[in-house]
Amino acid sequence: MYKTEVYLGDSREILKKYPDGYFNLIMTSPPYADARKNHYDSISTANYPEFFLSFHEEFWRVLAEDGSFVLNIKDKVVDGVRDRYVWKTVMALAEKGWRCVDDYAWVKPNAMPGYWVNRGSAMSGNIAFT
């Protein structure tokens, strides 16, 4: 039997109450760059690596030595060119010591209908760390 607890708040603050190495897995789908301005602070692609590094310290501390960190994120196309802010974020994390093991892809054929018409069968680029 698993116990599930859900907290609403800033993960950088909430994680502070957990001891070192407490978690085996961190999986996050962080805010999209330059998006959802009415829902949360929009982060530009240029500032994204710096923004994401603000999670590094607590993630690194609470993750067990043999734990994994999965970052569900995909870069975007701007004026017909792919903006590589995800690559830059991954490189910034690698410089902090994260070992990026691979990208992964997932298929979501049963997405709820809505404005995002291209999501139904989209495969997304994602990153896994250990």
The residues of the shown chain that bind ligand SAM, judged by CB under 6 A, are 10-12, 29-32, 40
Quick check: 109 and 120 in contact, CB under 8 A? yes
Q: Which is nearer to ligand SAM, 33 or 90 (CB)?
A: 33
Give, for 25, the enclosing helix (H) or strand (E). Answer: strand 23-28
Q: How far is the CB of 109 from ligand SAM (least distance, A)?
A: 16
Quick check: 39 and 100 in contact, CB under 8 A? no
Quick check: 79 and 91 in contact, CB under 8 A? no
CA distance 56 to 54: 6
Q: How far is the CB of 104 from ligand SAM (least distance, A)?
A: 15
Q: Which is nearer to ligand SAM, 70 or 100 (CB)?
A: 70
All residues at 6 or more sequence positions from 84 whose CB lies less than 8 Å from its CB, including other chains? 75
Can you name the residues that pair with 25 across neighbouring β-strands? Answer: 68
Ranked by CB distance to ligand SAM, the top (closest) residue is: 29
Q: How far is the CB of 83 from ligand SAM (least distance, A)?
A: 16
Q: How far is the CB of 129 from ligand SAM (least distance, A)?
A: 18
Q: Which is nearer to ligand SAM, 29 or 44 (CB)?
A: 29
Q: Which is nearer to ligand SAM, 14 or 91 (CB)?
A: 14
